Chains A and B, each alone.
Chain A
Amino acid sequence: MPLFFLLFLGMGFDAAFKFSNMPPGITYIAFLAPGIIGMVLLFNSITSGLSVIWDRQFGFLKEIMVTPVSRVSIVLGKTLGGMTTALLQGFFILLIAVGIGFKIKGVLGFLSSVLCMILIATSFVCLGLIFASLINDMQGFHLIVSLFTFPIFILSSALFPLERLPLWLKYLTYLNPLTYGVDGLRYSLIGMAHFSLTLDLFVLVGFCTFMIGLSTYFFRSVEVDY
Chain B
Amino acid sequence: MEYAIQIEKLSKKFDDFTAVSSIDLNIEKGEIFGLLGPNGAGKTTIIKMLATLLQPTSGFAAVWHHNILKDPAAVRRSIGIVFQDPSLDTELTGRENLDFHARMYGLNKEERERRINEVLDLVELKDRADVFVKFYSGGMQRRLEIARGLMHYPQVLFLDEPTLGLDAQTRRRVWEYIKRLNKADSLGHWVCRSFFFCF
Q: Which residues of A contact B67 (CB under 8 A)?
A: none
Which of A58, A66, A68, A70 meets B53, CB within 8 Å? A66
Asked if A66 and B76 sit within 8 Å, CB to CB, the answer is yes
Asked if A226 and B84 sit within 8 Å, CB to CB, the answer is yes
Q: Does B81 contact A (CB under 8 A)?
A: yes
Q: Which residues of A contact B88 (CB under 8 A)?
A: 60, 63
Q: Which residues of A contact B8 (CB under 8 A)?
A: none
Q: Is the interface of B mostly helix, strand, loop or mixed?
A: loop
If A67-B105, A224-B53 touch, whether A62 touches B87 (CB-CB below 8 Å) is yes
Q: Does A65 contact B (CB under 8 A)?
A: yes
| Nearest Cβ on chain B to A69's Cβ, whole angstroms | 5
Asked if B73 and A68 sit within 8 Å, CB to CB, the answer is yes
Per the bound structure, the CA–CA distance linking A1 and B150 in Å amounts to 47
Q: Which residues of A contact B85 (CB under 8 A)?
A: 59, 226
| Number of interface residues, chain A, beta carbon within 8 A | 15
| Number of interface residues, chain B, beta carbon within 8 A | 26
Which of A58, A62, A63, A224 meets B101, CB within 8 Å? A63
Contact with A along B53-95 (1 / 0, CB 8 A): 1110000000000000000011011010101111111100000
Can you pick out 20 interface pairs between chain A and chain B where the beta carbons lie within 8 Å of each other?
A58-B89, A59-B86, A62-B83, A63-B101, A63-B148, A64-B104, A65-B53, A66-B51, A66-B52, A66-B79, A67-B104, A68-B73, A68-B77, A69-B104, A223-B53, A223-B54, A226-B44, A226-B48, A226-B83, A226-B85
Residues of B within 8 A of A (CB): 44, 48, 51-55, 73-74, 76-77, 79, 81, 83-90, 101, 104-106, 148
Knowing that A62-B87, A68-B77 touch, tell me 11 more A-B residue pairs with CB under 8 angstroms.
A59-B83, A60-B88, A63-B101, A66-B81, A67-B101, A68-B74, A68-B106, A69-B104, A223-B53, A226-B44, A226-B84
